[in-house]
Homo-oligomer: A and B are copies of this chain.
């Protein structure tokens, strides 16, 4: 799933990518439009949730007619799934980058958790969107169209972490009795669920005034690391 920016590609730009070369102009435009629509939909959904954003809003944001939007995405659900997949993609990409970093397994895990936290704090709305989507998806009568793609990216994210835990068990920085997959799921579950403002707000008011969410997340991380440290 290639990301194409809002700016439409010009004809005279020299392309080396064969796949794009092969596409007819009409196909190219279509592909660009799909990406543009998804991009705008994601942006709007992240800010406002699914219900608040109307197909009309998305059409306007993408600069197209609503009828055209419906030709590309006959159901709002399809657009929601596409936006959710796009929203999850950067997490996978950044995780993969971190896996190829320097240092011991422990250091790399700590780095990736730090990064995860920063993402959570900086992009609270992204996390909230993800949670909203997963809730939404869980209530539909028949599985959302395209949901397999989403689940697959999720699985890839988890698989990215596996070698790291294995390394740590090997080099002795992690306890040898922990289960790799269960540990991975724990990480995702523990650190991936700070999107809901309501919980966040509730926690903030529950915690002392001078405890920032960042402090709490740091404590959470320490706690987790302590639990797997050898």
12 contacts between A and B (CB under 8 A): A49-B139, A128-B139, A134-B198, A135-B195, A135-B196, A138-B198, A151-B201, A154-B199, A181-B206, A181-B208, A183-B223, A193-B193
Contact B207 A181 (CB under 8 A): yes
Copies in the complex: 2
Contact of A182 among B128, B196, B199, B216 (CB under 8 A): B216
For residue A197, which residues in chain B have a CB less than 8 angstroms away from its CB? 138
Report the 7 A-B pairs with minimum CB-CB distance, sorted nearest first.
A49-B139, A227-B227, A138-B197, A132-B135, A182-B219, A134-B196, A223-B227
Contacts of A179 in B (CB 8 A): 219
In the assembled complex, the Cα of A192 lies from the Cα of B201 at a distance in Å of 16
SS class of chain A's interface: helix, strand, loop or mixed?
A: helix
B residues in contact with A52, CB < 8 Å: 139, 141
Min CB distance A205 to B, Å, is: 7
CA distance A52 to B49 in the complex (A): 17
Seen from chain A, the residues whose Cβ lies within 8 Å of a Cβ on chain B are 48-49, 51-52, 128, 131-132, 134-139, 141, 147, 151, 154-155, 158-159, 178-179, 181-183, 185-186, 189-190, 193-199, 201-203, 205-208, 211, 215-216, 219-220, 223-224, 226-228
